[in-house]
Amino acid sequence: QVRLVESGGGLVQAGGSLRLACAASGRTFSNRVMGWFRRAPGKEREFVAVTDWSGARTYYADSVKGRFTIFRDNTKNTVYLQMNSLKPEDTAVYYCAAGGLLSRPAAEDEYDYWGQGTQVTVST
């Protein structure tokens, strides 16, 4: 069993930055693909970013490419999402997930574990 707990969400003005963290506990974290997803109000959950076990390979949704960075610290069992140049359309609940496939990073059914989510609100 892996438990994931997100933190770092909040209210920020457009153009600002936030860093989300996802702390993992339980079974081995360091060899798992880790991803971030989000669900905006009235929309389905969507893929945001993914990293392989080492952090060397990362992929992003087109909507966040160049603004968001996913990285991990396996010594702390934590994966992060640095979000810069935030836009109102980035407003959503952000979830981290463990166990996906790099070949299908957006496939939610490939992830074994999910956190409860953290709210990010970007004001104009």
pLDDT tens figures, 66-105? 999 999 999 999 999 999 999 999 999 999 999 989 899 9
Distances in whole angstroms, Cα of residue 17 to Cα of each of 30, 40, 120: 27, 18, 11
pLDDT higher than threshold 80 for residue 118: yes
Q: What residues contact 55, with CB distance under 8 A and at least 6 apart? A: 71, 72
Q: Give the tokens for residue 94.
A: 């952000």
Query: Biggest alpha carbon distance in the chain?
Result: 41
CA nearest neighbour of 77 among 118, 120, 113, 104: 113
On whether the CB atoms of residues 108 and 97 are closer than 8 A, the answer is yes
- What is the pLDDT averaged over residues 51-58? 94
Buried b (16+ CB within 10 A) or exposed e, 81-96: bebeebeeebbbbbbb
Residue 29's pLDDT is: 78
Q: What residues contact 6, with CB distance under 8 A and at least 6 apart? A: 20, 21, 22, 94, 95, 96, 115, 116, 117, 118
